[in-house]
Amino acid sequence: MQHCTARPVPPAALKELRTTDDAGRAPAPRTDEEGGAPLRCCLRRSRPGETIALVSYAPLRRWAARTGTDPGAYDEQGPVFIHAGECAGPEADGLAFTDSHRVLRRYRADGRILGGRLVEEPDAFAPALREAFDDPAVAFVHVRAVEYGCFLYEVRRG
């Protein structure tokens, strides 16, 4: 399998989301007293005392707007945690949040879904991702949390 890179919410989208999210609402920043929220801006868990916001994000809609494609019925928005202010971004290019139940949704280059796979054990994540990209029709994979269906990040080849 080729090298894969986890991609956080892009900086331009983060800037917009910190003003108005994809549901048209202004974010409500809060101090995270406990830490542990999966931050989509830097692909790590929040630390106690950080100021974060829960915003609505539509990854396929934004991707489609950039590429001139139509996500069709797969356009959806959902909650994601981000830093309320600018952050340094990911500390590494590795895959994050692979320690719990995850769903890997595979998409074609035109944004149509090719299928998905439930990953129940942390050690099954890498093989499931490798299997997804073994299909040459797969352009990208969305990693989502099972419990809430939240988008965690996108994975692309290389």
Taking only the tens place, the pLDDT of each residue in 49-70 is 999 999 999 998 988 888 888 8
Residues 55 and 115 in one domain: no
In a domain? residue 1: no
Question: In the predicted model, is pLDDT for residue 136 greater than 90?
Answer: yes
Measure the CA–CA gap between 66 and 119, rounded to whole angstroms: 30
Higher-scoring residue by pLDDT: 158, 157? 157
Residue 92, domain member (yes or no):
no
| 14 and 60 together in one domain | yes
Which of 85, 59, 60 minimizes the C-alpha distance to 70? 60
Question: What digits encode the pLDDT tens for the residues 61-108?
Answer: 988 888 888 878 878 888 999 999 999 898 776 788 887 899 999 999
CA atoms within 13 A on the CB side of 14: 20
Query: Where residue 1 falls among pLDDT bands split at 50, 70, 90?
Result: very low
Q: Show the beta-strand stretches assigned E in the chain.
A: 4-7, 30-31, 38-39, 44-45, 51-57, 78-83, 102-107, 113-119, 140-145, 151-157
149 versus 60: the higher-pLDDT residue is: 60
Cα separation, 105 vs 125, in Å, equals: 12
Q: What is the pLDDT of residues 13-52, one digit of tens each?
A: 999 999 999 999 999 999 999 999 999 999 999 999 999 9
Domains held by the chain: number = 2
Q: Which residue among 56, 83, 110 closes a domain?
A: 83
Separation of alpha carbons 88 and 15, rounded Å: 13
Which among 83, 114, 140 is the end of a domain?
83
Among the candidates 25, 48, 83, a domain finishes at 83
- Residues of the domain holding 153: 102-157
Residue 134 maps to a domain: yes
